[in-house]
Structure 1
């Protein structure tokens, strides 16, 4: 099975993530998309990062009605910070029957050469890239292992959602209802 891997903090998961994942699963040759919930991004500060198990729970609630989407906590059981190449190796060892492709926003391509063993990631998995606002031209535009996928151009961010929650503003329609409910009940991001 060909599986797209969508790495992220998902702090919190929102409709932008879900639309991209569903677009990848329904308009490309990917048969499923797995959300790889990252405990700690090596490039981000984690001051406002919700506990990994809470974020994983939010992802599971968000995708529970879509058989094309799955949540995966493999990085919870790896040294932190986790690096994509190490996770890819672990996934390939655990699921040798699957072929994995890395899903990435176009805005991240500029930083991609800074990733640990980025050349090996390209060689072993390749990239499925979705458009992002204000993405700049990059050296991977014509790379044979980089596939650009037409997808809605969405300008919604978890940072914006956390700010809304902190101010007591509604996040309705920006996250799935089960996610919104749990955020309210547990008073996340307040």
Structure 2
């Protein structure tokens, strides 16, 4: 079994997240996706908004299931009272799924900083890594060569300009976001008046 691990703040989840998971299924033959909601690194105390994020990721998982891609929501990182590190999440998931192949899905911007991540040498032993890159390959060639020596990294060209930051700004300004997020998540945001200020 091949399980993809996709972590993020998901604030809010959007069509880019959905597209990444579906492309991973197509190119990497993923059998299941674990959507892990990470803590805001600038806010260690839980808030009601964390519950909203978890509910919206649940709606994203439902969208994936409609495409017959099993998806599970993990709130393990949200429960931590200390900053969350990807290597700790992978250690936890490795105990939960000892006999499956794990692949971590990351964006190219995160991958650029990968050598600065906590215990990144261990991380590449715990899982494979799929990098969704949005910039020309020559800009990350030196990092690509380094990581190919210590882990199995797959680069996937992915052009999706949608970002959660832009969506929050659009909502706050009253601009429509229906083309950027699944309809169920849009309805949830409207019903709970999220991102209005």
Deviation per residue, 1:64-113 (Å, 9 max, x gap): 14332332212123342111111111111122233211111112122111
For residue 50 of structure 1, report the CA deviation from its aligned partner.
7.3
Q: Which residue of 2 aligns with 1:37?
A: 37
Greater shift in the superposed pair: 126-135 or 50-59 = 126-135
Contact 1:100 1:125 survives alignment (8 Å)? yes
Match of 1:139, SS? helix
The question of 1:145 aligning with 2:143 is answered no
Match of 1:182 among 179, 184, 188: 188
Contact 2:91 2:126 survives alignment (8 Å)? no
TM-score for the superposition, normalised by structure 2: 0.85
Contact 1:133 1:154 survives alignment (8 Å)? no
The question of 1:26 aligning with 2:31 is answered no
Given the superposition, is the C-alpha separation of residues 108 and 50 from structure 1 closer, same or farther in structure 2, using an over 3 Å criterion?
Answer: farther
Q: Which residue of 1 aligns with 2:112?
A: 110
The question of 1:10 aligning with 2:13 is answered no
For residue 14 of structure 1, report the CA deviation from its aligned partner.
0.4
| More helix by percentage | 2
Contact 1:85 1:116 survives alignment (8 Å)? yes
Segments of structure 1 that go 5 or more residues without pairing to the other structure are: none
Deviation per residue, 1:23-77 (Å, 9 max, x gap): 1022213211211111224xxx45xx97222111111112314332332212123
Match of 1:54 among 52, 55, 59: 52
Contact 1:140 1:146 survives alignment (8 Å)? no
Contact 1:85 1:120 survives alignment (8 Å)? yes
Runs of 4+ in 1 over 6 A off after TM superposition: none
Q: Which residue of 2 aligns with 1:77?
A: 79
Match of 1:33, SS? strand
Q: What is the aligned residue count?
A: 185
CA distance in 2, matches of 1:40, 1:134: 29
Segments of structure 2 that go 5 or more residues without pairing to the other structure are: none
Q: RMSD value over aligned CA atoms?
A: 2.2
Match of 2:98 among 96, 99, 104: 96
